[in-house]
């Protein structure tokens, strides 16, 4: 056996590496990573323009990016090691930000044709550069050593008075679709504030972009989150906790843990309603970075952001109802195999274990966030439009059903009274039972023999809408049925509709935009409930208990059949029916 050196074309390799998809911002952030790794306390970005007289908003006018840090710096060998392709990670400290040893070169050559590194570990400054054009021509990867020029010495004098630190110069910037100084600074101010949030907020890191100090930005705005999100009462104006920070295990065998937390940010349209004509919604969107590119999970590896607003492969769906959802995952390098990170540290894919654990853990929070967002939207609609339940209640407000159907006979007075008494007794029992269930739904502890106030019972019977008089959307119905009749001498025949039954959810949630359908559904169930009470009061040939047993069973069976139908025909029912048809 013999080994044959087949060589590499260093020029083509370097060219390829520079085209892996860096943006200007992500390239500069990757170089800042090296400064952070070198334990710098002050990092400066200087942008030199091609023509100083042109405005910062002009594209293709950058001549050079200069990143200066007062970190530990490098000696001669250190600079050469940093410029090597696949730089060694032997000297990397634990919790290092680096991963592949390719960041500096690939980031630099994604923007520029000339990379210069000037550095000192305290023993004097050395300068090396790599010129992409020269490497492509010679097909050899090499660096050139040279003396510091006047401009280098000015930078050392101004920013590195302790004669220690590093200057990285990206020169010969490519002029094809290169962003303006203004846009780069705007984006970098936001991105570095979020990416290095922990370093700036906790480690006293200072980053200056063309002289302006970057302020740390917590994308979850946890400082403002006072209490946990209650999606049933949230009005859309405050930041709330969805999940406070918790450690979860993504691989029990290997003992791999991650930290996870999530908040609900305000609902911008709500502010327009509060302050009409002031573009309040726009201001809230800007303040909380609410938009299509910013919802999801912010994943920090060793406290450096590696994934901005990731939907984690669909754990957070692409759906604007999640615009207020902000999650954060903190990992260290032990979790790298579960959060596979690319060279740019910009994209990650999850292992099955990580996907499943996070997906399961956050499911409840995700549902809460969506419900809260929808509720905030509904609150707006409630103010601007009458909601369907109010409309259906209004429709039946003055409507009276037939007292006695043609062909039916009035019961004898004695029997009629006896049936009313039985009905009253049953309804009193029902009221007590559903009040217990209602309070449990609110998360309260309730004992079996607990006494309830009139107010408790009224709230439980009516559920969501206290002004409703006949048709009530409620969270719990006996036996988890679709609906149940309710009757008292004051309100007479009413219906309680289980809003969490699968069939109700099909109507109220999946067809939520169809107000007409909701109104008709509610009116129909009211008539079913009225029919049942009519039967208790008027059917002459069977006794009350027998009628009750059969009708209760019928209601249970039909509720179960409807639930089963919705479950089995998932995706085929309106509003999605026909969506799977092919032409």
Task: Give the residue with the Cβ less far from other proteins, 58 or 502.
Answer: 502
Which is it for strands 325-331 and 296-301: parallel, antiparallel or unpaired? parallel
Query: In DSSP terms, which residues pair with 492 in a beta bridge?
Result: 488
Token pair belonging to 192: 């570095």
Between CA 470 and CA 449 the distance in angstroms is 28
Q: How far is the CB of 422 from other proteins (least distance, A)?
A: 22
Least CB distance from residue 481 to other proteins, whole Å? 8
Which of 314, 443 has the CB closer to other proteins? 443
- φ, ψ for residue 58, nearest 5 deg: -80, 135
* Of the candidates 175, 198, 179, the residue with the CA atom closest to the CA atom of residue 188: 179
- Give, as ranges, the residues between 531 and 570 that touch other proteins (CB under 8 A): 556, 559-560, 563-564, 567
Question: What are the distances in angstroms from CA 356 to CA 326, 331, 446?
Answer: 19, 16, 35
- Contacts (CB under 8 A) with other proteins, residues 355-374: 356-357, 359-361, 363-364, 366-367, 371
Select 319 or 440, whichever has its Cβ closest to other proteins. 440
Pick one of 76, 134, 353, 510: the residue that binds other proteins (CB under 8 A).
353
Cβ neighbours of residue 447 under 8 Å, at least 6 residues apart?
none
Least distance CB 78 / other proteins (angstroms): 39
End-to-end CA distance of the chain: 61
Least distance in Å: CB of 244 to other proteins? 11
Kindly state the smallest distance separating residue 391's Cβ from other proteins, in Å: 24
In angstroms, what is the minimal distance from the CB of 349 to other proteins? 16
Beta carbon of residue 457, minimum distance to other proteins (angstroms, whole number): 18
Site for other proteins in 441-460 (CB under 8 A): 441-446
Choice between 394 and 475, CB closer to other proteins: 475
Site string for other proteins, 463-502 (x = CB under 8 A): ------------x---xxx------------------xxx
Instruction: Name all contacts of 333-337 with Cβ < 8 Å and 24+ positions apart.
Output: 333/94, 333/95, 333/96, 333/99, 333/301, 333/302, 334/256, 335/250, 335/256, 335/258, 335/301, 336/99, 336/301
Phi, psi of 330 (to 5 degrees): -110, 125
- Is the CB of 230 or the CB of 235 nearer to other proteins? 230
Kindly tell me which residue out of 255, 276, 406, 407 binds other proteins, with binding defined by CB under 8 A. 255
Query: Which residues fall within 8 angstroms of residue 45, CB to CB, at 6 or more apart?
Result: 28, 32, 65, 66, 67, 188, 207, 208, 209, 210
Minimum CB distance to other proteins smaller for 419 or for 501: 501
Taking the complex as a whole, the smallest distance from the CB of residue 300 to other proteins amounts, in Å, to: 19
Residues 194-253 touching other proteins, rule: CB under 8 A, are 246-249, 251-253
Which C-beta is closer to other proteins: that of 491 or that of 505?
505
| Closer Cβ to other proteins, 195 or 250, answer by number | 250
Residue 352 C-beta: closest distance to other proteins, Å: 6
β pairing state of 483-488 and 492-498 = antiparallel
Nearer to other proteins, 57 or 363 (CB): 363
Contact 489, 431 (CB under 8 A): no
* Listed ranges 150-158, 159-167, 352-360, 406-414: which one lies at the site for other proteins (CB under 8 A): 352-360
Rounded Cα–Cα distance for residues 508 and 521 (Å): 9
Q: Could you tell me the two tokens for 240?
A: 């709330």
Put residue 332 in one of left, alpha, beta given phi > 0 → left and psi -120 to 50 → alpha.
beta
> By CB under 8 A, what part of segment 84-143 binds other proteins?
none
Q: Which residue, 391 or 562, is less far from other proteins as judged by CB?
A: 562
- What is the 3-state secondary structure of 91-156? CCCCCCCCCCCCHHHHHHHHHEEEEEEEEECCCCCEEEEEEHHHHHHHCCCCCEECCCCHHHHHHH
Bridging pattern class, strands 112-120 and 126-131: antiparallel
Interacting positions 421-440 with other proteins (CB under 8 A): 439-440
Structure tokens at 26: 């992500």
- Applying CB under 8 A, does 257 fall inside the site for other proteins? yes
Nearer Cβ to other proteins (152/231):
231
Binding footprint of other proteins on the chain (CB under 8 A): 246-249, 251-253, 255, 257, 352-353, 356-357, 359-361, 363-364, 366-367, 371, 439-446, 475, 479-481, 500-502, 556, 559-560, 563-564, 567
């Amino acid at each position: 056996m013999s080994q044959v050196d087949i060589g590499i074309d260093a020029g083509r390799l370097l060219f390829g590496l520079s085209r892996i998809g860096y943006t200007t911002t992500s390239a500069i952030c990757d170089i800042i990573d090296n400064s952070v790794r070198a334990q710098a306390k002050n990092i400066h970005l200087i942008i030199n323009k091609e023509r100083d007289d042109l405005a910062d908003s002009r594209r293709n006018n950058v001549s050079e990016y200069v990143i200066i840090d007062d970190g530990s710096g490098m000696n001669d060998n250190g600079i050469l090691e940093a410029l090597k392709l696949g730089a060694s990670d032997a000297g990397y400290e634990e919790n290092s930000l680096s991963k592949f040893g390719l960041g500096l070169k690939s980031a630099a050559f994604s923007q520029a044709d000339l990379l210069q590194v000037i550095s000192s570990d305290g023993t004097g400054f050395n300068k090396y550069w790599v010129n992409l054009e020269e490497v492509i021509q010679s097909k050899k990867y090499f660096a050139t050593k040279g003396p510091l020029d006047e401009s280098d010495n000015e930078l050392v004098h101004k920013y590195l008075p302790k004669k220690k630190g590093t200057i990285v110069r990206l020169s010969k910037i490519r002029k094809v679709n290169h962003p303006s100084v203004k846009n780069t600074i705007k984006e970098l101010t936001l991105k570095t504030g979020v990416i290095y949030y922990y370093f700036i907020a906790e480690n006293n890191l200072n980053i200056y972009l063309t002289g302006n100090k970057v302020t740390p930005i917590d994308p979850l705005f946890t400082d403002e989150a006072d209490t946990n999100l209650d999606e049933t009462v949230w009005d859309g104006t405050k930041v709330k906790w969805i999940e406070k920070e918790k450690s979860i295990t993504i691989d029990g065998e290997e003992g791999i843990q991650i930290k996870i937390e999530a908040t609900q940010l305000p609902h911008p349209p709500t502010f327009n309603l509060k302050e009409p004509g002031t573009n309040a919604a726009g201001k809230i969107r800007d303040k909380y970075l609410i938009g299509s590119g910013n919802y999801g999970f912010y994943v920090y590896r060793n406290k450096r952001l590696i994934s901005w607003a990731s939907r984690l492969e669909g754990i957070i769906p692409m759906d604007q109802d999640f615009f207020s959802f902000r999650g954060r995952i903190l990992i260290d390098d032990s979790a790298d195999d579960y959060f596979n990170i690319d060279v740019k540290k910009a994209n990650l894919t999850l292992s099955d274990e990580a996907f499943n654990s996070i997906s399961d853990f956050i499911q409840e929070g995700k549902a809460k966030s969506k419900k809260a967002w929808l509720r905030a939207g509904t609150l707006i609609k409630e103010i601007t439009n009458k909601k369907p339940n109010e409309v259906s209640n209004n429709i039946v407000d003055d409507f009276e059903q037939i007292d006695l159907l043609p062909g039916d006979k009035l019961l004898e007075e004695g029997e009629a009274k006896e049936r009313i008494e039985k009905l009253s007794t049953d309804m009193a029992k029902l009221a007590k039972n559903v009040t217990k269930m209602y309070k449990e739904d609110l998360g309260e502890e309730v004992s079996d023999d607990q006494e309830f106030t009139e107010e408790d019972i009224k709230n439980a019977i009516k559920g969501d809408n206290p002004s409703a008089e006949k048709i009530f959307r409620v969270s719990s119905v006996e036996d988890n049925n679709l609906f149940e009749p309710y009757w008292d001498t004051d309100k007479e025949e009413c219906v309680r509709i289980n809003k969490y039954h699968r069939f109700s959810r099909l109507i109220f949630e999946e067809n939520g935009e169809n107000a007409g359908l909701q109104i008709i559904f509610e009116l129909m169930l009211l008539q079913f409930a009225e029919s049942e009470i009519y039967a208790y009061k008027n059917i002459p040939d069977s006794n009350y208990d027998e009628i009750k047993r059969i009708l209760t069973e019928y209601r249970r069976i039909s509720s179960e059949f409807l639930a089963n139908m919705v479950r089995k025909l998932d995706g085929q029912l309106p509003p999605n029916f026909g969506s799977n048809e092919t032409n």
